[in-house]
Structure 1
Amino acid sequence: MQDTHENSRPELDLSEMDTASEDISDVSWLDVPVLVIFVVLILIVATQFFTRYVLNNSLGWTEEMARYLLIMLGFVGSVTCVRKGSHIYLEFFYRYVPRGVIKPMALLVEVITGLFFGYIGYLGLAMIERTSGQKMITVPWPKAIIWYVVMAACAMMVLYVIRNIYRLIQTDADEVAHKKLENF
């Protein structure tokens, strides 16, 4: 007797699956720091894995450096997202407001995010002052390096937000609405 559950499985149609794009035209020289941090992070994590599970004698500094590089990657990677306009935002609201409200709403969102990034950068400056005399635990480097990167990334994000605001002001309201709604 045949199992009916086995025959009732839907076939997987690979032609309907999304494929990764090979188009890298939106990658800029400004993305190089993100790629460098990412590659260094991969190398350090691979070293950590190798020394811990193959040699059974892990290097102490790899965990701390991986943690700090991940923090830096998050902030420096956010600069790329702001530059491309690919940060997560609530598209839901654009769907249910009148088209004439979309441009002012998009401008307000940019102003709020710019203020947020500016405030985070300001807090990064305060953290630089607080950690200027501290060293990392396993590496004799100042902890303030992390906060310098965070502050610089926030400053870059603010500059890109200003650019985005300028572009939004220059763009027709119908075109802004079309761009915001084209994903639906």
Structure 2
Amino acid sequence: MKENKAQMRGIKYLWHNLEYILAAVFFVIMLVALFIQVFFRFVLNNPIGWTEELAVTCFVMMVYIGSIGATRNDEHMKMEMVINLFGPKGRLVMLIIGDVVFAVANLILAYGIFTVSLNLKKYGMTTAMLHIPKWIPYMVLPICFVTMDFKLLQNIGKKIKKIKELDNPESASVNKSANQEGE
């Protein structure tokens, strides 16, 4: 019984931190590729080209997959100076507006990159050194943008709930006491 709970906690941890774990994996692969490149170039005086291509691809993947986690935790870029000019409710409204603008931009980018990916697949283009079909790494980007939008919608829902709690403080205290009793 305890083993099952520990396994479930481990699975929940992995699922909850999947973006960061994947970003870390790409980071390690990038570092290994760069280390190999430096070793071959400066120690053996025989540079190899595929390591640079792999490192660049891993860097891009790391950044975009890591940005999903930043979006999930509401740590993406904001204009804090402008947002802080408002009261608590006004801040939340401005944050929601920012999230909506971010989500729309993500959808536009996802559509554009998805179209590019389809064209790369259609023409059978591959990377220069690794000969990986180019559409595969390109297709990761629209998936990341759509996943960020999903996380943004979750954040918007949380902010709307906070606004409702600010409008009706009695229901917020009732919800808190109900949550405490349920735990």
Q: Choose from 131, 136, 156 the match for 1:145.
A: 136
Give 1:135 shift: 0.6
Residues 93-140 of structure 1 deviation map (CA, whole Å, 9 limit, x = unaligned): 122234442221111111111111111111121111121110100112
Are the aligned partners of 1:103 and 1:173 in contact in 2 as well (CA < 8 Å)? no
Q: How many residues align?
A: 150
Match in the other structure for 1:80 = 69
Whether contact under 8 Å (1:79, 1:156) holds in the other structure is: yes
Q: Which structure 2 residue ranges, 5 or more long, are not aligned?
A: 1-12, 167-183
Q: 5+ residue gaps in structure 1? A: 1-24, 176-184
Structure 1 residue aligned with 2:90: 101
SS in 1 for 2:84: helix
**Which of 107, 132, 146 matches 1:155?**
146
In the other structure, the counterpart of 1:118 is: 107
1:30 CA displacement: 3.7
Alpha carbons of structure 1 residues 29 and 135: separation in structure 2 relative to 1, 3 Å:
closer
1:38 aligns with 2:30: no
Q: State the match for 1:58 in structure 2.
A: 47
Question: Residues of 2 paired with 1:166 and 1:76: CA distance?
Answer: 22
Aligned residue type for 2:134: K
Higher-RCO chain (CA-CA 8 Å, sequence separation at least 6): 1
Question: What corresponds to 1:131 in structure 2?
Answer: 120
Q: Work out whether residues 19 and 65 of structure 2, in 8 Å CA contact, stay in contact via their aligned partners in 1.
A: no
Does the CA-based 8 Å contact 1:75-1:153 persist in structure 2? yes
Distance 1:30 1:73 in 2: 9
* Aligned mates of 1:83, 1:172 — CA distance in 2: 19
Q: Equivalent residue for 1:171?
A: 162
Structure 1 runs (4+) greater than 4 angstroms displaced: none
In percent, how many aligned pairs have the same letter? 23
RMSD: 1.8
Contact 2:107 2:145 survives alignment (8 Å): yes
| One-letter amino acid matched to 1:34 | A
> 1:65-91: CA deviations, max 9, x gaps?
111211111111111110111112111
Q: Is the 8 A contact 1:136 1:142 kept in 2?
A: yes
